[in-house]
Structure 1
């Protein structure tokens, strides 16, 4: 499916289950998403992380509802499964689509301004450099006998100063490579939006509505 339609589909379904408490719908979403991820050959490690990371929040949600009112055990299970429905639905986008594909799709298929597209791509691609910079700042501080913990304001202040310098470098780099806002650009990676994509999008939404509202 087209990356943009896949994102919109997940957002619509997530919004619907946020307002409608339906245990069966949540379970169907979770099972369907797991099958979809397995079909796209998700690694066992990533699948286990998707199960393990939200587990504490899901248990806390279930426990708080159940202890407050044991008669609402079904609603507690609804909230428990809803967290996993959100996680696995989001994973269907993040684990099967790259940020580059999604950005190009939003730009070409849904006319997202190019400045947002390339700004987003620049931000994602600079994440590894941010990690390296944070480590460098911590090491430099330790050499001066200053320990900068993960939650230290001084650490993030220094990182923000470095990011401001990177912003100017990114601007100059994009300009030197011929980027001009509101000017036509050649297409590096074509992301088609076909009738088949729309049919799949409409079919999934149509099938899901009676499951959500009638079961």
Structure 2
């Protein structure tokens, strides 16, 4: 039964990843049946990754590398754009699993899993969170920020990257500390996720203001 749950979880993870990138990037032309082949290969790699019980850093690195391979083989777009959305997806995965871990630890009094993977009881919750985060990211990503100054585009890239660094520090703290407060960590993760979401939302409103200003000048 446990193996079945693990296998289904791995398939769902890859399905969510493909839905995420399919909503953000254009699928490569004439990829045909290779798309399904790459999907199956990604599932196999994800199953192997899960069965190895990798440390946190290695687990994230393999996940990012797998996502990068998926976007390079299956989707169009510049490398920088692909890398950016792979990074955003990695943040969504980390936040969903940390929130699940903190939720289970607070509500059900289950100890935090040092392997950074909430299995069985938390699998549905973390998967649902990841799907919600990715769906919202797809909605935000469909907005274009072509008229923004370069310094703001750099901020949009640095914000998710720095968020990964903070989440890694938080995970290390929780794993090593025997006297930590789950509720405070839960709030910290929620605030970090809120900041990332609002960064995109702020730039959306900012660009609309620039477009309106440009239109007024033209008229």
Same-fold call, TM > 0.5?
A: no
Q: Comparing both chains, which one has the higher relative contact order based on Cα–Cα distances under 8 Å and sequence gaps of 6 or more?
A: 1
Q: Tell me which structure has the larger Cα radius of gyration.
A: 1
TM value normalised by structure 1 = 0.30
